[in-house]
């Protein structure tokens, strides 16, 4: 499905790559956990590793679907088509969901409040600085097709 309804030809205007945003927030949480520990319990390394592995699989699956469809996974690039296949059938943001699950897996591995606060902060940053821009862009770019997709598929899961 395509159609340009006055959308920015340069993409949604996300300038800082989302993995850099989330990675920076998680790094800050980890540094704070070392400097001012706020332990919630013992580290749950095997569970954390399992979540991280599953999240990386989801991110990889979504990226492969995007590349095969001719859509650049970078959010600063324009979209040629509206994706509704693969993980995009279940979540409008499977890659960002994967980023949050990686952050949660890391928080489980560390077992500290700061890391869980980093997960919450990552969620808020993705919602405000990335997804809001992308949704406005996709609405302008694909119009009714995107409105229908939004009605059928949840933002996260």
Query: pTM for the complete prediction?
Result: 0.91
pLDDT for the residue numbered 79: 86
Cβ atoms of 91 and 157 closer than 8 Å: yes
Structure confidence at residue 88 (pLDDT): 97
Q: Running DSSP on this structure, what letter comes out for residue 88?
A: G
Q: Distances from the Cα of 16 to the Cαs of 111, 130, 140, in angstroms? A: 28, 9, 21
Residue in this structure with the two tokens 């001012």, named with its chain if needed: 36
**What tens digit of pLDDT does each residue of 33-74 get?**
999 999 999 999 999 999 999 999 999 999 999 999 999 988
The pLDDT score that the predictor gives to residue 9 is 60
Q: Provide the 10 A C-beta neighbour count for residue 2.
A: 10
Residue ranges of the alpha helices (H) in 2-143?
18-35, 45-68, 94-110, 113-125, 132-142
Domain positions in the chain are 41-150
The low-confidence residues of the chain, meaning pLDDT below 70, are 1-10
């Amino acid at each position: 499905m395509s159609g340009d309804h006055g959308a920015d030809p340069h993409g949604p205007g996300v300038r800082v790559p989302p993995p850099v945003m989330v990675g920076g927030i998680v790094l800050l949480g980890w540094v704070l956990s070392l400097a001012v520990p706020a332990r919630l319990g013992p580290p749950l390394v095997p569970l954390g590793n399992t979540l991280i592995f599953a999240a990386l699989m989801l991110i990889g699956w979504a990226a492969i679907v995007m590349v095969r469809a001719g859509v650049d996974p970078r959010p600063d690039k324009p979209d040629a088509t509206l994706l509704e296949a693969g993980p995009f059938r279940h979540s409008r943001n499977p890659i960002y969901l994967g980023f949050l699950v990686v952050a949660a897996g890391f928080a489980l591995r560390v077992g500290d409040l700061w890391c869980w606060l980093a997960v919450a902060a990552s969620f808020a940053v993705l919602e405000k600085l990335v997804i809001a821009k992308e949704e406005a862009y996709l609405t302008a770019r694909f119009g009714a097709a995107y409105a229908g997709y939004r009605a059928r598929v949840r933002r996260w899961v």
